[in-house]
Structure 1
Amino acid sequence: MYDQLGFDEFSDQAAFEDADTLRGLTTDRATYDYVLDLLESDERPQFVFDVTLQNHGGYDVGGLADELAVSVPLGDGSTSSELDEYASVIRQADRDLAYLVDRLNALDRPVVLCFFGDHQPGFSDWLFEATHGSAADDLGLEAVQERYTVPYLIWANDAARAQGAHAPDSGANGRTSLNYLGSKLVEAAGLPTSGYQRFLLAVREAVPAINLNGFLTADGAWHGFGDEDGGDPGALDALRAYATVQYDNLFNKDSAWAAR
């Protein structure tokens, strides 16, 4: 599968047999050291996609040392072992990310880092209900979208900024969606964008984010599909154009979009 996505090499768990673990899972820092070794061993441009495991659910594994443990009190004064373990590994992930950023910034070569999560933890349904007093589905689309929101960052080291890399724009309070993230990364790195990537960046001006639940318009409002008012008529036009180009890009392999 990864070779079909254009990757030359794939490293699985076998590459980390002797790596440090947390809760029995390879630590984020171990994977970061692996990436740093790749960068230091080859001066040619590289694209590295690192999927970490340290913070993966479930969150009832235990085995955290006392100095790593975090306790998060709920509104009624109670605690949840799942939430506590999740908060503990996330705090460690923050420390590991700071370590990676420091190491990347010390490199002479330009590096642009894109960091994001793919979903919220499995217990976030009951946690949302406990903190908001109701299920997300009962509070409307904006509340539902809170359940599908994760943080991300795009960061460039000093060497990359000296060569033209820059912080991406912060449209709609910096919110975006995964379909745009690759194009935003290429643009932020100061690299040439393809015709399809430029199209996506243009669509994002009218529709800053989109997922299975609905779409966000430039005024910061969420709309469900079938919401003909859509806030801004330009957003509906952009969505229709996106559907057409996406279909062409997927199925018309000889088209200009697919070839560029």
Structure 2
Amino acid sequence: YWVEGASEGANSALNTYLTCINASDRDLEYFINELRNIGRPVVLVFFGDHQPSAATTLNDELYPQEDTASHAFRVYQSTYFVWANYEIAGNTELNVYDTVGANEIAAITLNKIGAPLTDYQKALLATRSDVPTINVAGYLGADGLRYDLESEDSPYTSTIDKLQCMQYLEFASKVQ
């Protein structure tokens, strides 16, 4: 593959990555086929929390004048999937695309399969109408704008502050 506007080095890194991901895809297919016959219910959640370094280089080369939040969000954007070897009651979703942060995937998945949720996971689900996704780069508001986590002029600052407090308290409760 060759991306117009990107350097030879960035294109070379991209092609190396694509070669490796092709092998990973074959391994993942094998793994899922093994899970199909494991004899007990299994839910597989597969995601990455950031783009590979080749994508970061391409992002920097192709979008040099972009605002900081949008630029950072692209680096932490990743495709994910959730797969089960059994039919989940009341859940007929196939090929649903949604914008979520890595910290929200667990809450969404556990909720879909009817598993217990922590108070923090419940809060993440309850606030998704205002803040659909949060990641290390910031968050996306219901208004479609991206905000830095430290943003004081966001209409969602109160929601983010409350989520951060809950996250800290949940973490601190586990530290002895």
Quickly name the TM-score band, shorter chain normalised.
0.7 to 0.9
Do the aligned residues in 1 keep the contact of 2:120 with 2:163 (CA within 8 Å)? no
Residues 1:77 and 1:124: Cα distance change in structure 2 (over 3 Å): closer
Residues 1:177 and 1:206: Cα distance change in structure 2 (over 3 Å): same
Residues 1:162 and 1:207: Cα distance change in structure 2 (over 3 Å): closer
Q: Which runs of 5+ in 1 are unaligned?
A: 1-71
Q: Which amino acid aligns with 2:151?
A: G
Instruction: Provide the rounded CA distance (Å) in 2 between the counterparts of 1:222 and 1:243.
Output: 17
Residues 1:78 and 1:202: Cα distance change in structure 2 (over 3 Å): closer
Equivalence for 1:212: 136
Equivalence for 2:2: 73
**Offset, 1:86:** 0.8
Q: Secondary structure at the match of 2:129?
A: helix
Do the aligned residues in 1 keep the contact of 2:107 with 2:121 (CA within 8 Å)? yes
1:237 to 136, 140, 158: 158
TM-score norm. by structure 1 comes to: 0.55
Do the aligned residues in 1 keep the contact of 2:47 with 2:78 (CA within 8 Å)? yes
Q: Secondary structure at the match of 2:40?
A: coil
**Offset, 1:182:** 1.9
Equivalence for 1:226: 151
Alignment of 1:142-221 (within 5 A): 142-157=70-85, 159=86, 161-162=87-88, 167=93, 174-221=98-145
Do the aligned residues in 2 keep the contact of 1:110 with 1:163 (CA within 8 Å)? no
Equivalence for 1:87: 18
Aligned residues: 169
Instruction: Provide the rounded CA distance (Å) in 2 between the counterparts of 1:88 and 1:127.
Output: 17
Do the aligned residues in 1 keep the contact of 2:49 with 2:76 (CA within 8 Å)? no
CA RMSD of aligned residues (A): 2.8
Q: Secondary structure at the match of 2:137?
A: coil
Q: Which runs of 5+ in 2 are unaligned?
A: none
Structure of higher RCO (CA pairs closer than 8 Å, 6+ residues apart): 2
Percent sequence identity over aligned pairs: 30
TM-score norm. by structure 2 comes to: 0.78
**Offset, 1:206:** 1.8
State which structure, 1 or 2, has the greater radius of gyration over its C-alpha atoms.
1
Q: Secondary structure at the match of 1:126?
A: helix
Instruction: Provide the rounded CA distance (Å) in 1 between the counterparts of 2:32 and 2:43.
Output: 10
Q: Which amino acid aligns with 1:248?
A: L
Q: Secondary structure at the match of 1:154?
A: strand
